[in-house]
A and B are shown apart, each in its own frame.
Chain A
Amino acid sequence: MSLSTEPLAATGAVGAAQQAAPALAARTSGLRKVYGHTVAVDCVDLEVPQGAVLGLLGPNGSGKTTTIRMLLGLTRPSAGSVELLGVPMPDGADRALPHVGALVEGPGFHPFLSGRENLRRCAAAEPLLPTEGISRAVDEALERVGLGHAATRKYRGYSLGMKQRLGLAAALLVPRRLVVLDEPTNGLDPAGTREIRAVMAELHGSGTTVVVSSHLLSEVEATCTHVAVLHQGTAVAQGSLAELLDAGTPTLTVSTEDVQIAVDTLRDNRIPFWSDVDSVRVELVTATPQQVIEKLVLAGVGVREARRERTGLEELFARLTESDVREGS
Chain B
Amino acid sequence: MTTASIASPQLLERTPRAPLGRLLGAELRWVLRRPRTLAAFGVLALVPLGLGLLMSMMDFGAAPLQGPPVLASLLGNGMVLPLAAMGMAMPLLMPMIVSMTAADAIAGESSHGTLRGLLIAPIGRTRLVVVKAVGVAAVTALAVAVLALLGITAGVAFTGTTEFTSLSGTSLTFMEGIGRVGVAAAWVWLQMFAVAAVALALSSLTDHPLVVLAVMMGTLIVFAVLGGIGDLSWLHPVLLTTGWMSVIDVIRDPMESTALVESSVRALCYIVIGLSATIARMATKDS
B6: interface (CB < 8 Å): yes
Q: Is the beta-carbon distance between B18 and A127 smaller than 8 angstroms?
A: yes
A47-B1, A86-B9 known; A127-B117 Cβ under 8 A: no
Q: Is the beta-carbon distance between B4 and A94 smaller than 8 angstroms?
A: no
B118: interface (CB < 8 Å): yes
A121: interface (CB < 8 Å): yes
Q: Which of A45-82 contact B (CB under 8 A)?
A: 47, 49-50, 69, 72-76
Which residues in A have their C-beta under 8 angstroms from that of B23? Answer: 124-125
B225: interface (CB < 8 Å): no
Which residues in A have their C-beta under 8 angstroms from that of B17? Answer: 94, 127
A102-B120, A126-B121 known; A95-B5 Cβ under 8 A: no
Q: Is the beta-carbon distance between B5 and A105 smaller than 8 angstroms?
A: no
A239: interface (CB < 8 Å): yes
Specify which of A22, A74, A83, A126 is in contact with B286 (CB 8 Å cutoff).
Answer: A74
Min distance, Cβ B5 to any Cβ of chain A, angstroms: 6
The interface bits of chain B over 25-41 (1 if a CB of A lies within 8 angstroms of the residue's CB, else 0) are 11001100111000000
Q: Is the beta-carbon distance between A112 and B121 smaller than 8 angstroms?
A: no
Q: Is the beta-carbon distance between B12 and A112 smaller than 8 angstroms?
A: no
B169: interface (CB < 8 Å): no
CA gap between A88 and B12 in the complex, in Å:
12
Q: Is the beta-carbon distance between B120 and A83 smaller than 8 angstroms?
A: no
Q: Is the beta-carbon distance between A238 and B113 smaller than 8 angstroms?
A: no
CA gap between A121 and B121 in the complex, in Å:
11
Specify which of B33, B120, B124 is in contact with A104 (CB 8 Å cutoff).
Answer: B120
Q: Is the beta-carbon distance between B34 and A74 smaller than 8 angstroms?
A: no
The interface bits of chain A over 294-307 (1 if a CB of B lies within 8 angstroms of the residue's CB, else 0) are 00000000000000
Residue of chain B at shortest CB distance from A173: B121
CA gap between A87 and B11 in the complex, in Å:
12
B50: interface (CB < 8 Å): no
Which residues in B have their C-beta under 8 angstroms from that of A238? Answer: 1
Q: Is the beta-carbon distance between B114 and A109 smaller than 8 angstroms?
A: yes
Q: Is the beta-carbon distance between A127 and B16 smaller than 8 angstroms?
A: yes
Among B1, B33, B115, which residue has the most Cβ atoms of chain A within 10 A? B1
Residue of chain A at shortest CB distance from B7: A23
Residue of chain A at shortest CB distance from B5: A22
Specify which of B113, B121, B122 is in contact with A105 (CB 8 Å cutoff).
Answer: B113
Min distance, Cβ B79 to any Cβ of chain A, angstroms: 38
CA gap between A121 and B9 in the complex, in Å:
29
CA gap between A47 and B5 in the complex, in Å:
10
B61: interface (CB < 8 Å): no
CA gap between A86 and B5 in the complex, in Å:
9
Q: Is the beta-carbon distance between A125 and B118 smaller than 8 angstroms?
A: yes
A99: interface (CB < 8 Å): yes
Q: Which of B196-238 contact A (CB under 8 A)?
A: none
Q: Is the beta-carbon distance between B120 and A100 smaller than 8 angstroms?
A: yes
The interface bits of chain A over 164-201 (1 if a CB of B lies within 8 angstroms of the residue's CB, else 0) are 00000010000000000000000000000000000000
Which residues in B have their C-beta under 8 angstroms from that of A73? Answer: 119, 122
Q: Is the beta-carbon distance between B33 and A113 smaller than 8 angstroms?
A: yes
CA gap between A70 and B261 in the complex, in Å:
47
Min distance, Cβ B122 to any Cβ of chain A, angstroms: 4
CA gap between A131 and B17 in the complex, in Å:
12
CA gap between A124 and B17 in the complex, in Å:
11
Min distance, Cβ B280 to any Cβ of chain A, angstroms: 14
Residue of chain A at shortest CB distance from B2: A22
Specify which of A27, A97, A110, A124 is in contact with B112 (CB 8 Å cutoff).
Answer: A110
Q: Is the beta-carbon distance between B6 and A24 smaller than 8 angstroms?
A: yes
Min distance, Cβ B199 to any Cβ of chain A, angstroms: 20
Q: Is the beta-carbon distance between A124 and B22 smaller than 8 angstroms?
A: yes
Q: Is the beta-carbon distance between A93 and B122 smaller than 8 angstroms?
A: yes
Q: Is the beta-carbon distance between A24 and B122 smaller than 8 angstroms?
A: no
CA gap between A182 and B33 in the complex, in Å:
30
CA gap between A120 and B34 in the complex, in Å:
15
CA gap between A74 and B125 in the complex, in Å:
11
Q: Is the beta-carbon distance between A94 and B124 smaller than 8 angstroms?
A: yes
Residue of chain A at shortest CB distance from B123: A125
Min distance, Cβ B74 to any Cβ of chain A, angstroms: 38
Q: Is the beta-carbon distance between B4 and A23 smaller than 8 angstroms?
A: yes
CA gap between A102 and B34 in the complex, in Å:
26
Where the two chains meet, the residues of B that have a C-beta atom closer than 8 Å to any C-beta of A are 1, 3-9, 11-19, 22-23, 25-26, 29-30, 33-35, 112-124, 284, 286-287
14 A-B pairs in the complex with CB atoms less than 8 angstroms apart: A18-B4, A24-B5, A47-B3, A69-B286, A74-B286, A85-B6, A93-B122, A96-B12, A98-B122, A107-B113, A108-B112, A110-B114, A121-B26, A124-B25
Closest 5 CB pairs of A and B: A108-B113, A22-B4, A124-B26, A125-B121, A86-B8
With A23-B6, A73-B122 known, 4 other A-B pairs at CB within 8 A are A23-B4, A24-B4, A108-B112, A170-B117
